[in-house]
Chains A and B, each alone.
Chain A
Amino acid sequence: MTGHLKTWPIILALSILSAPLVLMYAYLFIDTVTNSPPGSFIPNEFTLEHWAFLWHTPPGRPSIWRVTFNSLLFAASTSLLVIVVSSMAGYVLSRLNVPARGFFLAGVMVLHAFPAITLIVAIFLVLQMIGLYNTLIGVILVKAAIDMPLGIWLMKGFYDTVPWEIEMAGIQDGASRFTVWRKLVLPQVKPGIFALWLFAFLLGWSEFILPQVLAPSGDVQVLSVYLASLIADDNNFDMALFKSVGLFYIAPVLILFFVFQNYLMNIYGGGSKG
């Protein structure tokens, strides 16, 4: 009872402080399914016209489903590339006695510190030269390469916590180094790999600059670029449409978060269980 008495002022204060945020999100949603009379914020009719982009492709624009599929493909491919390469490279850097290990570790860190945007002109030229400009593959490769240093470092950290004896026991049990990694070590870092995958997926989903510059047009547009093109379009500027597409764009992120939040909290709170 006393606990409640003590906590309610805090809850109240937090509610008041966060009310504007909640209101904003609520209004964002309400605004996409209603119309308001000019000069007023209070909606006066319910409508689905702002969501019409889902079933009706406006002329001169790619279909929203095509763009969503591209975004999905982009995020899935980059995150997959990142976890596959990072889980292997992280292991090598953590465990194997490779030559110039220190140099690689430092190099990877420097690469991560490098703002990708400074490279964009060079990347643009390279992609154009090898014919991957304005293709999804090109921008996927670039994005994965940029995310990889962080992934490698994270995975190295996860591998560092796996006891050395487990691997030696596996070797004594007759397993090859690869089998040891695959069957004994990888399961220990599974939560880490999952977290990295989710992280890389969300980074890919929200990436804007790279696709905007390297794969801007038509069939290869991703959602973020599509969304940006809505504001850039001065001729028929539609605020409500912009909001709806925005909501559509963040929905998967929210869903992913709600589905996996307990799992993620577990990784950072209690380590791997089961």
Chain B
Amino acid sequence: MRILLDKFSKSFGAVKVIEDMTLEIKDGEMLALLGPSGCGKSTTLFAICGIHKVTGGRIYFGDRDMTDLPSQERNVGVVFQSYALYPHMNVAENIAFPLRIRNLPGAEIKRLVDEMADLVHIGNLLDRRPAELSGGQQQRVALARALVRRPNVLLLDEPLANLDAKLRLEMRSEIRRIQLETGITAILVTHDQVEAMSMCDRIAIMNAGQIIQIATPKEMYRNPRTTFVAGFLGNPPIAFVEAEARDGMLAVKNADIRLPVPPDAVTPPDGTPVIIGIRPENLGPEGDAIIRGRVSFIETQGRENLYDIKLENGSVLRSIQRVRDDISLDDEVEWRVRSDRLFVFAENGERL
């Protein structure tokens, strides 16, 4: 079901957390709300499911105005970060709880619970208490409980934050599989860009209560609208250097480096200060513009090495390349960038 937040605002007393946010999530889509801690992701989620009353604006599910409906009538499935399983009930009872509340007949409940347990692969755990489950299993139970009553929307608040690295990888694809199989509209709150990029159809990136950009992961990675977005996506992260427009080129400040303006950017007038963003994978042996510097740090990542190179002006760029043995610490290197992959931002962080 389509969800629309129309000029939604939320404040706690005098503290304005969200102001005039408009956001549409398409039917059957999985959208990531990505942003740093405290930017208002959970607040947005809780407004959608009705835990928080909105201060302004409207919330629609489909064409239906949900703004003033209590949580119980919104039919939203929520998976909390701590899973919030009911400790005194076993797995089957946990999953059945939303159905019991709706007074469904016992046989029907049993059928739905079994069906859901199969979907999330916990059919053999139905008699256990939550305390007897691993983190990943609890996560599956929480998903099953949220989905069993066929909610309009599924909300996930940092569902993977409490899992260890390996399980996180596994549950990432599991959650996506379950979402695709059920075709439910879902919102995933996370501050992990990898989660957002790998699990979701689109990403809405938030900062300080505002949505900065909404796009598909690929589009957002290729085409960040601000330095904030560019800096948030990508691991290892993008590096920025300050520069100035000069004779139709971009001259890096206090360094003898001149880079061409990428074809998709407007050439700024001479003397305009700009910020250039260079992703680590675009700096290396190949490219059309030369960058000179000294290797200041090498991090081995197994298949690849991450090199920090220090320019003469002191700023540091990052390059990720296949492991090579011909480079060691403190070597002077002359590497290249592909100018069509550069990002140029104005001083205020907006992309040119």
List chain A positions with a Cβ less than 8 A from chain B: 163, 165-166, 168-176, 179, 183-184, 187-188, 274
Contacts and interface: CB of A to CB of B under 8 A. Distances in A.
Nearest to B129: A274
A179 B80 contact: no
Contacts of B41: none
Nearest to A165: B84
Contacts of B78: 168-169, 172
Interface string B79-121: 0111111111000000001100110000000000000000000
Contacts of B50: 171
B87 A188 contact: yes
Nearest to A184: B86
B72 interface: yes
22 contacts: A165-B80, A165-B83, A166-B84, A166-B86, A168-B51, A168-B78, A168-B80, A169-B84, A169-B85, A169-B86, A171-B50, A171-B71, A172-B49, A172-B78, A173-B97, A173-B145, A174-B72, A174-B98, A174-B101, A174-B102, A175-B72, A184-B86
Contacts of A165: 80-84
Contacts of B72: 171, 174-176
B82 to A, nearest CB: 5
B77 A188 contact: no
B166 to A, nearest CB: 25
Contacts of B75: 174
Of A165, A169, A172, most B-chain CB atoms within 10 Å: A172
Nearest to B72: A174
B71 A179 contact: no
B101 A169 contact: no
A97 B102 CA distance: 27
Contacts of A274: 129
Contact of B98 (A163, A168, A173, A188): A173
Interface residues of B, number: 26
A184 B87 CA distance: 9
B279 interface: no
Interface of B: 49-51, 71-72, 75-78, 80-88, 97-98, 101-102, 129, 145-146, 149
A168 B50 CA distance: 10
Contacts, number: 55
B88 A175 contact: no
**In terms of DSSP, what is the predominant structure of the interface of chain A?**
helix
B101 A173 contact: yes
A169 B77 CA distance: 9
Contacts of A170: 86, 97
Contacts of B101: 173-175, 179
Contacts of B81: 165
A172 B82 contact: no
Nearest to A172: B78
A187 B85 CA distance: 13
Contacts of B149: 173-174
A168 B88 contact: no
B84 A168 contact: yes
A198 B225 CA distance: 65
Nearest to B146: A172
B110 to A, nearest CB: 17
Q: Lowest 8 CB-CB distances: which A-B pairs, in order?
A: A165-B84, A173-B98, A169-B84, A187-B88, A165-B80, A174-B101, A172-B78, A171-B71
A179 B49 CA distance: 19
Nearest to B71: A171
A175 B51 CA distance: 13
Nearest to B87: A188
Contacts of A166: 84, 86-87
A236 to B, nearest CB: 57
Nearest to A190: B88
Contacts of B49: 172
B130 to A, nearest CB: 11
A169 B145 CA distance: 10
Given A163-B84, A175-B72, 15 more contacts: A165-B80, A165-B81, A165-B83, A166-B84, A168-B51, A168-B80, A169-B78, A169-B85, A171-B51, A171-B72, A173-B101, A174-B75, A174-B98, A179-B101, A187-B88
Nearest to A176: B72
Contacts of A168: 51, 78, 80, 84
Contact of B76 (A172, A179, A188): A172
A171 B88 CA distance: 17
Contacts of A179: 101
B71 A172 contact: yes
B80 to A, nearest CB: 4
A101 B98 CA distance: 31
A169 B97 CA distance: 10
Contacts of B51: 168, 171-172
Contacts of B87: 166, 188
Contacts of A176: 72
Of A166, A169, A170, A274, most B-chain CB atoms within 10 Å: A169
B241 to A, nearest CB: 44
Contacts of B80: 165, 168-169
Contacts of B85: 169
A163 B85 CA distance: 10
A173 B78 CA distance: 9
